[in-house]
């Protein structure tokens, strides 16, 4: 492992990203991260692979969790579970999704439903800020994890499992009378971008377009 000093890393790079609220600090605020990294730097804790590092985050995360429990969103994110209708070869029976829908969406006034596919280290929980931006545009967001990551029920050893996973999700979206998928654009980040590009080939007739944001392609996912 490269020998690095946390203080240098935070002040030269990570600190600025924290102020901007971008990866890996998305959905966060500088005042949340400053005391955490201040403690890590003061105590000279440079190894992120042990409990000492992780424990430094707990007081802040516990405080934020309490604040979140005491607050209400005008438009909450729903934790939905749908049937894995095209499950096969050891897939699970249900697919967990996060769904956030534009207020007033109905059969008469459907809204665009934008699939959002997460990556290896960014899961369904990490996208509230992105759903905010979509709500401003009148769109709904349907968030799912990729195979073998987080709560995704697909068989990670079956290379064809993504086909049934995304077919099941897209079928569910189409079945919702207040959603419009035909003019929607699916979006995926990092490893989710890889699956987005894959989706653009395997399910090209299901939506208007697809965006693979910082996506790995070609020989990206191989045994090596």
DSSP letters spanning 91-145: --SEEEEEEE--TT--SSS-EEEEEEE--SS--GGG-HHHHHHHHHTT-EEEEEP
Give per-residue pLDDT as tens, 116-134.
988 777 777 778 888 888 8
pLDDT band with cut points at 50, 70 and 90 for residue 2? very low
Answer whether residue 223 is part of any domain: no
At residue 6, the pLDDT reads 64
Check which CATH number belongs to the domain holding 189 and give it.
Answer: 3.40.50.1820
Give per-residue pLDDT as tens, 4-55.
566 666 776 676 676 776 767 776 777 888 888 888 888 888 777 888 888 9
Structural domain harbouring 19: 6-69
Please indicate, yes or no, whether residues 48 and 89 belong to a single structural domain of this protein: no
Instruction: Cis check for the bond before 24: say yes or no (omega within 30 of 0).
Output: yes
Answer whether residue 218 is part of any domain: no
Please indicate, yes or no, whether residues 56 and 88 belong to a single structural domain of this protein: no
Please indicate, yes or no, whether residues 92 and 43 belong to a single structural domain of this protein: no
Please indicate, yes or no, whether residues 139 and 158 belong to a single structural domain of this protein: yes
Please indicate, yes or no, whether residues 52 and 83 belong to a single structural domain of this protein: no
Answer whether residue 147 is part of any domain: yes
Share of the chain above pLDDT 70, in %: 88
Q: 115 with 193: CB under 8 angstroms?
A: no
Please indicate, yes or no, whether residues 84 and 187 belong to a single structural domain of this protein: yes
At residue 8, the pLDDT reads 67
Please indicate, yes or no, whether residues 155 and 202 belong to a single structural domain of this protein: yes
Confidence (pTM): 0.70
Please indicate, yes or no, whether residues 28 and 124 belong to a single structural domain of this protein: no
Buried b (16+ CB within 10 A) or exposed e, 160-193: ebbbbbbbbbbebbeebebbbbeebebbbbbbbb
Answer whether residue 1 is part of any domain: no
Please indicate, yes or no, whether residues 177 and 106 belong to a single structural domain of this protein: yes
Q: 103 with 75: CB under 8 angstroms?
A: yes
Q: Which residues of the chain form beta strands (DSSP E)? A: 78-83, 94-100, 111-117, 140-144, 179-180, 185-189, 209-213
Distance CA 59, CA 72 (A): 22
Number of domains in the chain: 2
């Amino acid at each position: 492992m490269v020998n690095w000093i946390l203080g240098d890393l935070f002040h030269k790079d990570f600190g600025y990203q924290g102020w901007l609220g971008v990866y890996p600090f998305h959905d966060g605020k500088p005042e949340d991260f400053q005391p955490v990294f201040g403690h890590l730097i003061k105590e000279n804790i440079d190894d992120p692979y042990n409990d000492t590092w992780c424990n430094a985050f707990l007081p802040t995360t516990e405080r934020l969790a309490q604040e979140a429990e005491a607050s209400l969103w005008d438009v909450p994110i729903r934790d939905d579970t749908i049937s894995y209708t095209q499950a096969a070869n050891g897939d699970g029976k249900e697919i967990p999704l996060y769904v956030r829908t534009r207020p007033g969406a109905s059969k008469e006034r459907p809204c665009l439903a934008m699939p959002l596919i997460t990556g290896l280290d960014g899961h369904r929980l990490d996208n509230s800020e992105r759903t905010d931006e979509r709500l401003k545009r009148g769109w709904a967001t349907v968030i799912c994890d990729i195979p073998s990551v987080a709560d995704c029920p697909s068989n990670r050893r079956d290379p064809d499992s993504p086909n049934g996973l995304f077919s099941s999700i897209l079928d569910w979206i189409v079945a919702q009378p207040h959603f419009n998928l035909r003019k929607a654009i699916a979006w995926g980040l990092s490893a989710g971008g890889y699956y987005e590009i894959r989706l653009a080939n395997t399910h090209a007739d299901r939506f208007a377009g697809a965006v693979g944001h910082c996506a790995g392609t070609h020989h990206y996912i191989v045994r090596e």
